[in-house]
Amino acid sequence: MQCIRQPPVRTSSEELLYKAQSKKVTRLNAKLLGLEGDGELQFLLAGGDLLKVRSSSWKKTRFFKLQDDCKTLWTESKKTFRSNRTFSLDDISAVRQGRQSEGLKKYTEETVDPRCFSIIFKGRRKNLDLIASSEEEAGRWVNGLEKVIAGLNNLDRQQKTEHWIFNCMRKADKNVDGKLSPDELKDLMHFINIDVEDDYVQMLFQQCDTSKSGYLSGAEIEHFYELLTHRAEIDIIYSEYARSTGLMVKGKKLLSKDGFLMYLQHRESFILDPRHSSVYQDMSQPLSHYYMSSSHNTYLLEDQLKGPSSTEAYIKALLLGSRCVELDCWDGSEGEPVIYHGYTLTSKILFKDAVKAIHEYAFKTSEYPVILSLENHCSVEQQRIMAQHMSSILGPALLTQPLGDAMPTGFPSPEDLKRRFLIKGKRLNKLEAVYAPEAGPTDDADEKTKSKKKLKLAKELSDMVVYCKSVHFHGFEDAKDNLSFYEMSSFKEGKALKLAEESANGYIRHNMDKLSRVYPAGSRTDSSNYNPVPFWNAGCQMVALNFQTRCADMSVNQGRFLVNGRSGYVLKPSFLRDAASDFDPITLTRGPWLQHKTLHVMVISGQQLPKVKPKKKSIVDPVVRVEVYGVPADVAVKETLPVDNNGFNPAWNESFQFDVFVPELALVRFIVEDHDSASDNEFVGQYTLPFTSLQMGYRHVPLHNKNGDLLPSSGLFVHVMVVDAQ
């Protein structure tokens, strides 16, 4: 949600009034953020010139300034007929000092490093690379922005709403007199995503205009805000629980109605069980017993034909919790291996730069191990360079031999491998050969069966492959009889889906003590994704998706790994780990996995839903869809009727019921769309979580945008109940 305004042309008297109002607004916003009188905030509000860098020949000075909402950064454009540009601090993923971005490394000299910094945006928006006049000034920009962003993130739900509406009121106040006329009031309604009839606006206005002055000011605006944000559904629920005292009891504490609303808006009262927000699962089981968040073609920011490759793509995937990243390696010039999508027009990055980025960001979100999946097309000479880079950059964190002194008989656990890097790739011999040289041939037979050629692999690189040796798949029986536990196969989505549908239990048993990686078909040149759920149902650990493409499939992936501290590792259900299990997600015979539940969901209301179009009069007609993912018998969809012209506080009060037979594999997804009877609905927000992580009762559901980022203040209010089916 943003209320961004361009500085209008004003008369001298209006400018004086505006400056006085602006100072007052700034003080209020600074106080809300806990930054009243803060020097770094004052520095940002004053603004300053920065050198904007786009290429070696495009470096231009631009004036940047934080606006009085303490949330919007404004930059002056030098182009004729080009409006000055703004962006919200909510859109910033990170601010990094120094020449850390690819652009600054490529287009600037090392001497300017202390004066450089980059603003990294969420989604696919390009970085903003900047150079300050001094190291001190660069530091103030970085520290100031980080401080304000932290302040915004620390606001609770109610404070975010107040901050947003307050600044929308500022935008509606066209003559900047601190008052609201009836026309300005209607503009405000449009800004906050409500389209109402003139009669209703007039009724609201008259109700608040106690002074009969023809405009609202001071306490009258506060009263209007109270009317605007009043939630009738909370009154009804509160009255059900409160008794004659007018208070309700929780433990030994009495809650007023305002306190009850604050309680419902607290993060721990949201729909996600707060106990699942941290690592709560057993992390000491073998690696094959866990789902692992996995990325495909991690280096790409866009499509697979001509899109850019970037170290930033690795950073984003790792910060999202991916624990398996892919590196497509090819011979580069001057003896340096490069990464790109071979035989296409995608750009190239140096292999060593990718490894440096992985090393720096691997464990910022999760401490559990990261697997580097190598798709190796390099000559033996450049493979040796690859091995040198990984050894020197990753250092002792790179696992190059099994844990312990003896030949292992199974996988170590994520706990055993904390902050370690594992290499997935080809290996010249069996791991057993390390302990008994005569036990393993020089080359694996299965690598020579078809080609009759010796595997061209550098020993230095081969020796780095320990627990994730890549081999061809020749059937479950062959794998059981001839493959060691550490020998794993990768499956194209079509092959994997056929196995998951036609040989589900065989696939499940295979995945109990061996690893499987599933990857998108080569025909997905647009970097689209597939539904990961059937492969999780079959016990596949590494279900690799294109993280650069945000879609429903990625939202489901985000929901799967939302829990367990967002560690990127989720323990598979016991029936996918037990060697005696007869579980089959397709036939669904009786067994401990069958725990028939009935899920009751009442979609009550929505709060502060964002616009899907920037136009003032473009108001959403929100519709809510509730989806259940899981085994085929559990898949279901239910949808509310749309609410016309109200994205601010829509009410549905519709109830749905779902039968869930295998709750440990199920996920629940809430989707909000802007209804359109003439064309496809437009996405507004969504939230996905595991069925077993649902909190029952009255709950707020936060919403993520299409990039997977949290929408401030936006959400749904629902009632959830799970009971044993009769």
H/E segment holding residue 24: helix 12-32
In terms of Cα–Cα distance, which of 112, 110, 66 is closest to 89? 66
H/E segment holding residue 95: strand 92-97
Q: Please state, in angstroms and rounded to a whole number, the distance separating the CA atoms of residues 619 and 639.
A: 20
In terms of Cα–Cα distance, which of 574, 692, 586, 590 is closest to 633? 586
Q: Is 348 annotated as a binding residue?
A: no
Of the residues 163, 276, 289, 296, which is catalytic? 296
Q: Which residues pair with 451 in a beta bridge?
A: none
Number of neighbours of residue 33 by Cβ within 10 angstroms: 22
Structural tokens at position 414: 């994520």
**C-alpha distances in Å from residue 210, one per residue of 182, 217, 218:** 14, 10, 11
CB 603 within 8 A of CB 358: no
Which residue in this structure is represented by tokens 């109002």?
Answer: 21
Structural tokens at position 184: 């300005």
Q: Please state, in angstroms and rounded to a whole number, the distance separating the CA atoms of residues 92 and 117.
A: 13
Q: Please state, in angstroms and rounded to a whole number, the distance separating the CA atoms of residues 82 and 100.
A: 30
Which residue in this structure is represented by tokens 């799967």?
Answer: 560
CB 515 within 8 A of CB 288: yes
* Cα four-point dihedral sign 63, 64, 68, 73: positive
Q: Phi and psi at residue 476, in whole multiples of 5°?
A: -65, -40
Q: Is 71 annotated as a binding residue?
A: yes
Pairing of strands 465-470, 421-425: parallel
Dihedral class, residue 172 (left if φ above 0, else alpha if ψ from -120 to 50, else beta) = alpha
Q: Please state, in angstroms and rounded to a whole number, the distance separating the CA atoms of residues 466 and 471.
A: 13
182-191 vs 198-208: helix axis angle to the nearest 10?
Answer: 110
Which residues have CB under 8 Å from 422's CB, separation 6+? 369, 370, 371, 372, 399, 466, 467, 468
Q: Is 59 annotated as a binding residue?
A: yes
Structural tokens at position 337: 């291996």
Dihedral class, residue 354 (left if φ above 0, else alpha if ψ from -120 to 50, else beta) = alpha
Q: Is 210 annotated as a binding residue?
A: no
Q: Is 400 annotated as a binding residue?
A: no
Q: Please state, in angstroms and rounded to a whole number, the distance separating the CA atoms of residues 382 and 604.
A: 60
Q: Please state, in angstroms and rounded to a whole number, the distance separating the CA atoms of residues 540 and 151.
A: 41
Q: Is 590 annotated as a binding residue?
A: no
Q: Is 482 annotated as a binding residue?
A: no
Q: Is 336 annotated as a binding residue?
A: no
Q: Is 621 annotated as a binding residue?
A: yes
Catalytic annotation present for 596? no
Q: Which residues pair with 60 in a beta bridge?
A: 52
Which residues have CB under 8 Å from 155's CB, separation 6+? 32, 33, 163
CB 324 within 8 A of CB 369: no
CB 172 within 8 A of CB 187: yes
Residue type at 79 in one-letter notation: K
Structural tokens at position 671: 């989707």
Q: Is 76 annotated as a binding residue?
A: yes
H/E segment holding residue 93: strand 92-97
What is the Cα 670 distance to its own chain's centre?
Answer: 16
Number of neighbours of residue 23 by Cβ within 10 angstroms: 12
Q: Is 454 annotated as a binding residue?
A: no
Catalytic annotation present for 266? no
In terms of Cα–Cα distance, which of 442, 467, 464, 466 is closest to 455? 442
Of the residues 341, 389, 510, 700, which is catalytic? 341
In terms of Cα–Cα distance, which of 569, 498, 509, 519 is closest to 539? 509
Binding residue positions for substrate = 52-79, 424, 426, 490, 517
Binding residue positions = 52-79, 297, 326, 328, 375, 424, 426, 490, 517, 619, 621, 645, 674, 676
Binding residue positions for Ca(2+) = 297, 326, 328, 375, 619, 621, 645, 674, 676
Catalytic residues: 296, 341
